[in-house]
A and B are shown apart, each in its own frame.
Chain A
Amino acid sequence: MTATGIGAPVRRREDFRFITGQGRYTDDIERPGQTYAYFLRSPHAHAAIRSIDAAAARATPGVLAVLTGDDLAADGVGGLICGWMIHSKDGTPMKAGAHPALAQGKVRYVGDHVAVVVAETLAIAKDAAEKIVVDYQVLAPVVDMNAAVKKGAPVIHDVAPDNVVYDWHLGDKAAADAAFAKAKHVTKIDLVNNRLVPNPMETRAAIGEYDGGSESFTLYTTSQNPHVARLVLSAFIGIAPEHKLRVIAPDVGGGFGSKIFIYAEETVCVWAAKKVGRPVKWTSDRTEAFLSDAHGRDHITHAELALDDKGRMLGLRVKTKANLGAYLSTFSSCVPTYLYAPLLSGQYDIPAIYCEVEGVYTNTAPVDAYRGAGRPEATFVVERIVEVAAREIGQDPAAFRKKNFIRKFPHQTPVIMAYDTGDYAASLDKALELIDYKNIGRRKRESARKGKMRGIGFSAYIEACGIAPSAAVGSLGAGVGLWESAEVRVNPVGTVEVLTGSHSHGQGHETTFAQLVCDRLGIPIDQVSIVHGDTDKVQFGMGTYGSRSGAVGMSAIAKALDKVIAKGKKVAAYALEASEADIEFKDGRFGVAGTDKSLAFGEVALQAYIAHKFSGQDLEPGLKEGAFYDPTNFTFPSGVHVCEVEIDPDTGVTRVDRWVAVDDFGVIINPMIVEGQVHGGIAQGVGQALLEGAHYDASGQLVTASYMDYCMPRADDLPSFKVDHTTTPCPSNPLGIKGCGEAGAIAAPPAVINAITDALGHEDVTMPATPQVVWRAARKAAFRTAAE
């Protein structure tokens, strides 16, 4: 390992500009003649729009345009799309209601887009928006999923008269039923996976710009995948053909999934820019972010686990309702289906699994992928029911897990996935040692002496990352392929620019991707730059989500680097007057085997460009290679997280006291960055378990629309984490990488809830387990103990 190669804890090269205020985010960009967009949003959860009178708003000095859904329709601008087709059990396609960027006839959630005002300043736009008179016919809203699917519930989209988007299933029902028929013990649980608001530090923003001379558009936007944004805006929404639309996602301050999607606002900014003939900028304020960023999670689940007389798992049945909100966001349909049910086997050898999922429309903000996307929901189901089952049959939860772990690989689960490698027991053993499991009894007694209740909770998670083989996801309904691209441009002096279709919005790609280049080419890290986030520079790419940038994005770079080295060998052979077969590349030098003749990488690059030593007929000049990498399988990061909590029964306050994470991410490029990802993931998972919850009231108003009521995790909510690893390299990609970006958020919630319920004598608690929730449960537990 070199100081900047694979495995080195290189400090993040991008951080200096971020922490010195030199980052360049979308809102930092000012375009000549820029105007400002302000969206008039629906105050109602459900209403028909009888008319919109914008005359006074249009007459306001400084207003350039007031545009509505009628204008979109008149210009033939298409609606927003959902790019993953899900079919119901009966084979019918999902019921995707129209999703115009500005409402056409109806609004379906508080925050829905009614009109846009474009003005010289934001203040003028806001003033004018107040003058728009919208004649609403308020309709009864439906916020609760169970209410939405009841007969006679208000209909949100005519195409789905029962508010059911799809009624989907996976697995073998007959096999699962047979497993339950022979079960000795059946554990049943009901769970709610709470709705979350993503809350990246940077809110969404967009600047649309039109150049009349070239008849082309530019969109600066906060996107995790600018190429997909361009594809959707051109091919589906129809704003401009791809070669006339440039999408730039500059520095992006966090996404957690919420910036994967193509939203109404950027669509409108690009379209409006041509209409007003000037750049149009929109920056979300925090309240708009709460109202209109796609939310995460929001499941109601009933699950049953069948065990034999020795406590071996026989079968799992899961029935889930997933709230998809008022419209289908870009990838919403796949999150509670193909990103969820295939993970229900967890780390366990379960012979039969059957899962049913109903996707439901409600008058709430759209729900889509959020850090982990489906896998946290699956892990919550598996790790909660496994914990409850162990307690019900009186087995130690760690030993019960271990007994049921998958031990032989590859392992085909009953729900699509073929796990390639792993060593689950190794992670568990290490975690038990690091948490000092053998002394948990003593620590519980010490807490009890102080009047506190201590509990320990496990979470043995698995996730599927590196999404994914394009043909595989295509067969499951994906509208796109999920490969990645890379281009390595070697300059004549040997410096290297790597163009990647991955996108960094906090992950540290400028560091880790450069480490791969250093490792392969043997050049100093300051001679490498990573270019991403601009469709005019990078030809095409699929972006960053699902912990895929390492496993897929870097594999593409590795492939392109191999081609560069192969080409370099040809150049070196001419320059060194040797046979190509005798050229070896090592430590940054091309040498002739068995001699001391060699050229540094930079010297070979220069030879490639001056092309003095070979004829253009024999070898093309230049040194630039591209590659597309399509994975052959998902990757399967796994691990065991254990946490200990101490509860104050007088107040219900839960203090997370200890945290151990033992993860198997395969090969790690930069352990410092990986540890940071684990920390951030755990923080978000603890946030979901203890603090965060989006709450709509019965009328469909978002009660938690600011930090006054929506509780984000803070540093003092968390203990110092003990983070460790086991390593089984991933066999399906050239670098052995599995991915690490979501693990913490996936692992953490059940670990916390298992710990709390352990402390409370198995009394159940819902997420977020706020002080009030825990206090009530502690009182119930105390009454129960007294009664016994």
Chain B
Amino acid sequence: MYAFNYQRAKSVRQAAGLLAKNGEAKLLAGGQTLLPTMKQRLASPPVLVDLARIEGLAGIERKGRAIVIGAMTKHADVATSTLVREAIPALAALAEGIGDPAVRNRGTIGGSVANNDPSADYPAACLALGATIVTNKRKIPADEFFQGLFTTALDEGEIIVKIAFPAPSKAAYVKFPNPASRYAMVGVFVAKRGSEIRVAVTGASSDGVFRWTAAEEALRSRFNPKSLDGVAASADGMISDIHGSAEYRAHLVGVMAKRAVSAALGK
């Protein structure tokens, strides 16, 4: 790790100000990606702005039919929240499957979503549930937020404050973990709200999380795993590495999607 300056922000406004002062400064949320990267000397931000002590950034509440989760809420708190478990059990289950206990007790939903790692779990939930990412400047629909590998709609100095998830009528997330890292090699989040069906896929595409519209269409006629028979994801643009070829990942997208639909139906 290289030397850096550490700043503890007291408010989102102050954090934004510190970011504005130093273009290379980085926000520190749970630090589960940033700190290991810095330890390996692969990142060397001159300034870290810690969000941990900002009041009101963590917490979960119900607002109408939506669950609103503060950006600094830890994965473990989402996983064990009664509110989340009742309204969107699939989201609680997803949080329970992130990393290991140490990661879940430090890592935050805002950090994960802002980082937009192509193998992260939360982006799939945001996209499939049609979440709204609320920042210090505006509200961004998930469909516009994720813009490819580690790329988001966030502007310079823009900070995620909370994320609002409309509760679905049925939803499930099923992932195929990378055997080594246990990050999602393919993760499929399926959600049904009224007649709207959304299928979001993480881990598979070299462009990051995406909606699998062909599967959504097929499920619209009948929300049943059988509807996906013969619907194949294209291997074009899928990640190919020692753990899985693009073809294998594309195949797994289909398998995981079916399993997610089954799980959403309680099968």
Chain A residues packing against B (C-beta within 8 Å): 123, 126-127, 287, 650-652, 691, 695, 703-704, 707-712, 770-772, 775-776
Contacts and interface: CB of A to CB of B under 8 A. Distances in A.
Interface residues of B, number: 17
Contacts of A650: 255
Nearest to B40: A287
A775 B248 contact: yes
A770 B179 contact: yes
A652 B248 CA distance: 10
Contacts of B252: 651
Given A126-B41, A651-B255, A707-B181, A772 B244 contact: yes
Contacts of B176: 651, 771
11 contacts: A123-B1, A650-B255, A707-B181, A708-B181, A709-B181, A709-B243, A770-B179, A771-B176, A771-B244, A772-B244, A775-B251
Interface string B251-267: 11001000000000000
Given A651-B255, A775-B248, A775-B251, A704 B179 contact: no
Contacts of B244: 771-772
Given A650-B255, A772-B244, A772-B245, A709 B41 contact: no
B40 to A, nearest CB: 8
Interface in B221-267: 242-245, 248, 251-252, 255
Contacts of A704: 180, 242
Contact of A707 (B40, B180, B248): B180
Given A770-B179, A771-B179, A775-B251, A709 B242 contact: yes
Contacts of A691: 179-180
Contacts of A708: 180-181, 183
Nearest to B1: A123
B101 to A, nearest CB: 14
A699 to B, nearest CB: 15
A127 B248 CA distance: 42
Interface of B: 1-2, 40-41, 176, 179-181, 183, 242-245, 248, 251-252, 255
A377 B185 CA distance: 31
B258 to A, nearest CB: 9
A101 to B, nearest CB: 25
Contacts of A287: 40
Nearest to A690: B179
Given A126-B41, A651-B252, A775-B248, A695 B242 contact: yes
B242 A703 contact: yes
B146 to A, nearest CB: 22
Given A695-B242, A772-B243, A710 B180 contact: yes
A709 B243 CA distance: 8
Contacts of A126: 41
A711 B252 CA distance: 20
A755 B248 CA distance: 23
A127 B44 CA distance: 13
Contacts of A127: 2
A166 B222 CA distance: 66
A778 to B, nearest CB: 11
A650 B252 CA distance: 8
A123 B40 CA distance: 12
A287 B248 CA distance: 29
Given A770-B243, A772-B244, 10 more contacts: A126-B41, A651-B176, A652-B248, A691-B180, A704-B242, A707-B180, A712-B180, A770-B179, A771-B244, A772-B245
A711 B181 CA distance: 7
B86 to A, nearest CB: 29
Nearest to B244: A772
A129 to B, nearest CB: 11
Contacts of B255: 650-651
A453 to B, nearest CB: 15
B243 to A, nearest CB: 7
Q: Which 6 A-B pairs have the closest CB atoms?
A: A711-B180, A708-B181, A711-B179, A650-B255, A772-B248, A772-B244
Contacts of A711: 179-180
B216 to A, nearest CB: 21
Nearest to A704: B242
A709 B178 CA distance: 8
A430 to B, nearest CB: 33
A640 B181 CA distance: 33
B248 to A, nearest CB: 5
Nearest to A653: B176
A703 B243 CA distance: 11
A689 B196 CA distance: 45
A709 B255 CA distance: 23
A650 B251 CA distance: 9
A683 to B, nearest CB: 15
A772 B252 CA distance: 10
B95 to A, nearest CB: 19
A708 B119 CA distance: 12
Contacts of B1: 123
A123 B38 CA distance: 13
Contacts of B40: 287
A648 to B, nearest CB: 9
A490 to B, nearest CB: 49
A194 B140 CA distance: 49
Nearest to A714: B182
A651 B179 CA distance: 12
A291 to B, nearest CB: 13
A691 B41 CA distance: 29
Contacts of B248: 652, 772, 775-776
Nearest to B186: A651
A707 B183 CA distance: 11
B234 to A, nearest CB: 18
